[in-house]
Structure 1
């Protein structure tokens, strides 16, 4: 595992905090502490439906996540420390089926037997403002750590979140390295490139490296039913982005509502890329008891597709299991249905299915690109008894297009979370 000067400094700061606790008022530090261990058993199968190239990606792995989160010491400034330990173990992989993203790749084109990391985070709190420095998992309009494989993606840096003003959340951060979900080493960040994004780099693809990502923004509850958000972000040398979000929930009657989620982002280059994109998205969701019916629309315009940090989850309404529907000039639609079986007396059981279609994709020298994707998720979490918190999820996807490989995909995830504190 690599250790940089900043990582060592964070570890020493966390250790120093622990060593000085006996001299500090630490009742809240102990009382508010949380700890859990999560076991994830993950089977992934991606079947490519044409003869050329790798026929399929198929791997089976076991993961463990240990999460420790302290409270804060008493006083005007409270101090604390968090830790995230991760371990991934190969159960089955080989014969040319590696590449699922579950496991750390080796130099021969296969996967390593195991990988893992220990991330430490020092934190300080004043009133309702919290500063964290070290290992971070982030989820906001500017950047979203991906957690869709065996182990989560994490970043190294600092993050300040303030909720001192009622209804207002302010959020700012600086990141310099990423530890991706199938890696145990921190490395420079990249700008994500994907099929027909149209994104290029001055100096070629080798120039696609950055060791600085900054963001600042937040959200404000304008009324009881309307929340607005704005973020500015910059991946140094790669892109700059302004992102706006409005979410409105309209109660219609008992157990009925209409949710409107509007998103707009303007991305431009920052010197070494050609990024130029306007992304608009809208999602309307009608909920009735346990049922939800959603309709989504997403439109890309400009000289490239949407810009976001490699490996992260982009803030797009039509980003789904396989595709992001964010290619250059792409227009896409989504129809989605969810049902929560708690409405009929089966808590813990949920179902989701959706269909997306995209077209008008710019294909240089060819007809417009088109694509569609269908997803189905079925999940159940045991609610009580000896197996409480044991979850089983099956995720199925079908992807077809006229510019890349056709895919059938299945993921089976069995997880169990054991609270320790």
Structure 2
């Protein structure tokens, strides 16, 4: 007679919380495994004038570098049986092709204690995962994406977070998730023991917990609700929705709404925080043309703040800012700031160039207030300040041939500040070429 497998405390907890039974046969640990290689070539050329937030965060004047990143990622399937077990792992390597002392260090190339860029660096990590029915529990290093806790992939390598992540999809169209994280790694770091911190206040928190979910109303819309706690910093609540109306085969209207509320919590190590931030976006698509307008408002005496990973104050931003005007060079998130965006997208496939698209946008922010919170001293003299940003972008995806799927992205962002707006004057030019390759 076969003995009953011992699940342990973790397995028993999963069964107690989500008592469902897996009825479909799993392909297996090896049979459902995947190994991918993503190569990313990045050219960064940035000019920063003044002593604004970006300059202090990255501690570099006019960052410029050329680098190549290689990402090898393995994702296993699950062992067969009631409780499936799996493993994910990654190995990342980065190579500096150009970028001298005093210019590298904007998140692509690692620098040593003397500020000199390293020619090569890398890191590896992984996680263990358990699955029972439609419930999954992961522990280890991972990328996370949700409105209140999100890693970022805007540089050569991604940032990662270390902790527990639990998801459930028993109800069709509904994703429930929760997490507890205690460490983070920035893109240009080799350590998995970096901090979690407030991106603008530069104050570290020992842990972040979050819970929430996303429900697909139908194929055109969804609604999300989340809450998070940054221990001894703040509690944050989020609700957002998206919906699209198909007017005809050639016309569509999309609406997006986002709302955050943040209050200081515990020892309030980032000072008094009482901020409501919201944005609304309306887009109209006609054939291959898309026109978007968006409005964003930060209501409070501190800027809207969110997660940073790794070395505190290094500029290793996270991505948990689901506000419409958080764009290339600025988040337009100052105290009491209002901002408007106008954007135009063009798909060139009807003109004989499938895979090529163009984008241009302009954002203007105004009515910024000074912040009495000393942790946000960058806005200490921001009364009446304003700023603006113009971005243009071209994207191309190779449609066929031996490098099918290769993506090329050309970006330029020009930001100009007036008064005490702390981002300063920034000109960013970025070229990204990446090629995803499925090895098995």
TM-score, L = length of structure 2: 0.83
Deviations 1:229-276, CA, capped at 9 Å, x for gaps? 100001111111000001111111113211111010000111222222
Deviations 1:95-134, CA, capped at 9 Å, x for gaps? 4212321111211223222221111111111222221111
- On the 8 A contact 2:363/2:390 being kept in 1, the answer is yes
- Give 2:425's match in structure 1, choosing from 388, 403, 406: 406
- On the 8 A contact 2:101/2:117 being kept in 1, the answer is no
Partner residue, 1:390: 406
Partner residue, 2:236: 241
- In structure 2, stretches of 5+ residues that fail to align are 1-24, 309-316, 371-379
1:83 partnered with 2:89? yes
Partner residue, 1:9: none
Deviates more, 1:220-229 or 1:141-150: 220-229
Partner residue, 1:227: 222
Q: Classify 1:63/1:282 alpha carbon distance in 2 versus 1 (closer, same or farther; 3 Å).
A: same
1:156 partnered with 2:140? no
- On the 8 A contact 2:89/2:124 being kept in 1, the answer is yes
**Deviating 4+ runs (over 6 angstroms):** 50-54
Residue 144 of structure 1: CA displacement?
Answer: 1.8
1:155-174 equivalence runs, <5 A: 155-174=161-180
Q: Classify 1:99/1:29 alpha carbon distance in 2 versus 1 (closer, same or farther; 3 Å).
A: same
Partners in 2 of 1:365 and 1:409 — Cα distance? 25
Partner SS, residue 31 of structure 1 = coil
Partners in 2 of 1:249 and 1:385 — Cα distance? 34
- On the 8 A contact 1:275/1:307 being kept in 2, the answer is no
Query: Aligned-pair RMSD on alpha carbons?
Result: 2.0
Partner residue, 2:377: none
Q: Classify 1:155/1:50 alpha carbon distance in 2 versus 1 (closer, same or farther; 3 Å).
A: closer
1:285 partnered with 2:301? no
Partner residue, 1:8: none
- In structure 1, stretches of 5+ residues that fail to align are 1-24, 194-198, 200-204
Residue 51 of structure 1: CA displacement?
Answer: 11
Aligned residues between the structures: 385
- On the 8 A contact 1:158/1:174 being kept in 2, the answer is yes
Partners in 2 of 1:38 and 1:72 — Cα distance? 23
Residue 80 of structure 1: CA displacement?
Answer: 1.1
Residue 31 of structure 1: CA displacement?
Answer: 2.4
Q: Classify 1:342/1:127 alpha carbon distance in 2 versus 1 (closer, same or farther; 3 Å).
A: farther
Deviates more, 1:365-374 or 1:80-89: 365-374
Q: Classify 1:346/1:128 alpha carbon distance in 2 versus 1 (closer, same or farther; 3 Å).
A: farther
Q: Classify 1:369/1:246 alpha carbon distance in 2 versus 1 (closer, same or farther; 3 Å).
A: same
Deviations 1:371-420, CA, capped at 9 Å, x for gaps? 10111111112121122222221111000002342111100112122210
1:169-208 equivalence runs, <5 A: 169-185=175-191, 186-193=193-200, 199=201, 208=203
Partner SS, residue 205 of structure 2 = coil
Residue 50 of structure 1: CA displacement?
Answer: 6.3
Partner SS, residue 140 of structure 1 = coil
Partners in 2 of 1:247 and 1:275 — Cα distance? 28
Partners in 1 of 2:382 and 2:65 — Cα distance? 35
Q: Classify 1:366/1:244 alpha carbon distance in 2 versus 1 (closer, same or farther; 3 Å).
A: closer
1:98 partnered with 2:104? yes
Deviations 1:38-63, CA, capped at 9 Å, x for gaps? 11111100023569996521111111
TM-score, L = length of structure 1: 0.87
Q: Classify 1:162/1:345 alpha carbon distance in 2 versus 1 (closer, same or farther; 3 Å).
A: farther
Residue 366 of structure 1: CA displacement?
Answer: 5.8
Partner residue, 1:17: none
